[in-house]
Chains A and B, each alone.
With several copies, the nearest count.
Chain A
């Protein structure tokens, strides 16, 4: 009996937590009428903001993938002094309040700092520009990609790399024929998490670029100007688009793996 009461308590508490997460989202998704949803998705302003959110988010995730992969690999494979410091630095973007991220990046690339003025002279406008949005998103998304990719690399047994080296593969070839293929799933997960985090960002983006409006900013503006009811349909569409993106990424990532190990039990 005591055993069961402990289990029941745990189950009850877990249910509460799941309800707390699900109910608001379900309520929101079910709140707007179909007519409102239809009207929203043909609104060119909404379409523009959804498209902007998508491509800036995906760009940020790809930048994290290209530049973050070597760091993730180093963190997974080598021991060095100050490694814990590097890991702490990498986690900083999670901990920094979102408007602070925007303020910090603006302080660097804004016109009241020499670096920002330098960029401006070279024609690189970041403030109020998709490029700036991508920069902010890259900043907040990095830790999510690095975390997942690092775990992926760490789960590849070093012995496999040693064998590859002893068979004649260079460090470079070993990475691309052994390490990377085996960490593929974790890397894809990292890209998805990074992309999701990037698209969900609001507080940092709004400081660097209120315009052009990404979907969360548009939603915020509609909420402030017209109220809750007019922001809900945009929220629903944003969620639908994100889910479609992530599910299709997962399917693309899983497809080849299945074929390959077709003989596996």
Chain B
């Protein structure tokens, strides 16, 4: 294991991290997700060595870090607000760390980063003359040129304009392949994590709720909190009987028999199929529903539908919206496969 966080606890102004455990392999790209105030940034600060640990230990390549000051840890950080040195040129910003860490072939390394990030033309400029996207690329170069063991990214995209965001996302993917550096990306945006990371951990209230492959978290959230966070809108507390789940008189076919009698089921909004007429299809669950509300979001729209006072949210493209023409109060048919129903907790 490259990075191992063991039973880490931090207390800070009444806010606390508790029993945080996490392991990252060398060269991994892990996303640390969670709602605002979950403690993601505090965990990063603990890794860098800026806040004292109350319990636990952090190991890097097996060596404990807790005695080491930030400058001895080999952990670089990139902040949301770039944090470039305003009194230094782009060149001096990027080269800042090189005088402290002896990096072999640092000239080559620097040249390669500059060319990959398209920064050659900006070397003599000062940070205040750069766009947000350019500044963040400089910050990335500065953090990576010293070949850190770990690169921490604290919501590096969220201050950027959408156009730059996409651009930087591509750069991040690109750079991750090159060195052996492990990336740990903090974000409160699940789609962003999904598009970048291989593994992920979801943090809620100072604890890690779930960690693992990002697809697994997306497909099999272990708790309602995680389910809600990864966009499983249709989350219901149900009673199981045989291979079906019951809630408010509604019987939902699961196609398999759960271990417990009670639990949660969740269905992704995009797994709900809507139609004006009942579909004759292989989908095991099909109901007549009443439209409650339609929220258009440009590319896609969310439709709230009611069945027996149970509200389902479906996502359809704006295109489909024009075909379905759903109006609050009218009826539509709603169907979904038994395999689209996820059992939680």
Contacts of B55-87 to chain A: CB distance below 8 A = 69-71, 73, 75-77, 79, 81, 83, 85-87
B262 at the interface (CB under 8 A from A): no
Enumerate chain B residues within 8 angstroms of A157, measured Cβ to Cβ. 83
Is the CB of A18 closer than 8 A to any CB of chain B?
A: no
- Indicate if the CB atoms of B73 and A167 lie closer than 8 Å: no
* A168 & B77 in contact (Cβ 8 Å cutoff): no
Which of A159, A171, A173, A265 has its CB near the most chain B CB atoms (within 10 A)? A159
**A159-B79, A263-B125, A264-B129 as given contacts; A168 in contact with B100, CB under 8 Å:** yes
For the complex, is A90 an interface residue (Cβ under 8 Å from B)?
Answer: no
Whose C-beta in chain B lies nearest to the C-beta of A174?
B71
Q: Which residue of B lies closest to A173 (CB)?
A: B100
Whether, in the assembled complex, B124 has its beta carbon less than 8 Å from a beta carbon of chain A, the answer is: yes
Would A3 and B69 be within 8 Å (CB), given that A167-B97, A261-B128, A263-B126 are in contact?
Answer: yes
Contacts of B99 in A (CB 8 A): 168
Across-interface contacts of A168 in B (CB, < 8 A): 71, 97, 99-101, 146
- Separation in Å of the A260 CB from the closest CB of chain B? 7
A169 to B101, CA, bound (A): 9
Cβ-based interface call for B142 (8 A): yes
With contact pairs A159-B79, A160-B85 given, residues A166 and B70 touching in the complex (Cβ less than 8 Å): yes
Partner of B71, one of A159, A166, A178, A265: A166
Query: Known interface pairs A166-B70, A169-B100, A181-B87. Does A264 touch B126 (Cβ–Cβ under 8 Å)?
Result: yes
Within 8 A of B (CB), among A248-264: 260-261, 263-264
Residue of B nearest to A163 (CB): B83
Inside 8 A of A160's CB, which chain B residues have their CB? 83, 85
Give the distance to chain B from A255, nearest Cβ to Cβ, in Å.
14
Are A166 and B73 CB-contacts (below 8 A) given A159-B81, A263-B125, A265-B129? yes
A154 interface residue (CB < 8 Å to B): no
* Total A-B Cβ pairs within 8 A: 78
Q: A159-B83, A261-B128, A265-B128 are in contact. Are A166 and B69 (CB under 8 A)?
A: no
Would you give the shortest CB distance from A10 to chain B, in whole angstroms?
Answer: 16
Looking across the interface, which residue of chain B has its beta carbon closest to that of A184?
Answer: B87
The answer to whether the Cβ of B157 comes within 8 Å of any Cβ in the partner chain is no
Q: In the complex, are the beta carbons of A166 and B100 less than 8 A apart?
A: no
B126 in contact with A166 (CB, 8 Å)? no
A165 touches B129 (CB 8 A): no
In the complex, A89 Cα to B79 Cα: how many Å? 37
Kindly state whether residue B32 has any CB partner on chain A within 8 Å. Answer: no
Within 8 A of B (CB), among A191-222: none
Contact, CB under 8 Å: B96 / A167: yes
Kindly name the residue among B49, B70, B96 whose own CB sees the greatest number of chain A CB atoms within 10 A.
B70
Q: Does A162 contact B (CB under 8 A)?
A: yes
Docked complex: A175-189 residues within 8 A CB-CB of B = 177-178, 181-182
Inter-chain contacts of B70 with A (CB < 8 A): 162, 165-166
Contact, CB under 8 Å: B85 / A178: yes
Bound-state CA distance A177–B96 (Å) is: 10
B50 within 8 A of A: yes
Q: Which residues of A lie under 8 Å from residue B50 when comparing CB positions?
A: 162, 165
Is A164 in the interface zone, CB < 8 Å from B?
Answer: yes
Bound complex: CA of A265 vs CA of B87, how far in Å? 14
Pair A162/B48 contact, Cβ less than 8 Å = yes
Chain A residues closer than 8 Å to B45, beta-carbon distance: 162
* Neighbouring A residues of B76 by C-beta, 8 Å: 166-167
Note all chain B residues with C-beta closer than 8 A to A177: 96
| A170 at the binding interface (Cβ < 8 Å) | yes
- Chain B interfacial positions (CB closer than 8 Å to A): 45, 48-50, 69-71, 73, 75-77, 79, 81, 83, 85-87, 89, 96-97, 99-101, 124-126, 128-129, 142-143, 146
Binding site for B on A (CB under 8 A): 3, 157, 159-160, 162-171, 173, 177-178, 181-182, 260-261, 263-265
Q: Please name the 8 residue pairs, one residue from A and one from B, whose CB atoms are nearest each other, closest first.
A: A168-B100, A167-B97, A165-B70, A159-B83, A168-B101, A168-B71, A163-B83, A166-B77
Known: A162-B70, A162-B77, A260-B126. 5 other contacts (CB 8 A): A157-B83, A165-B70, A166-B73, A166-B77, A182-B87
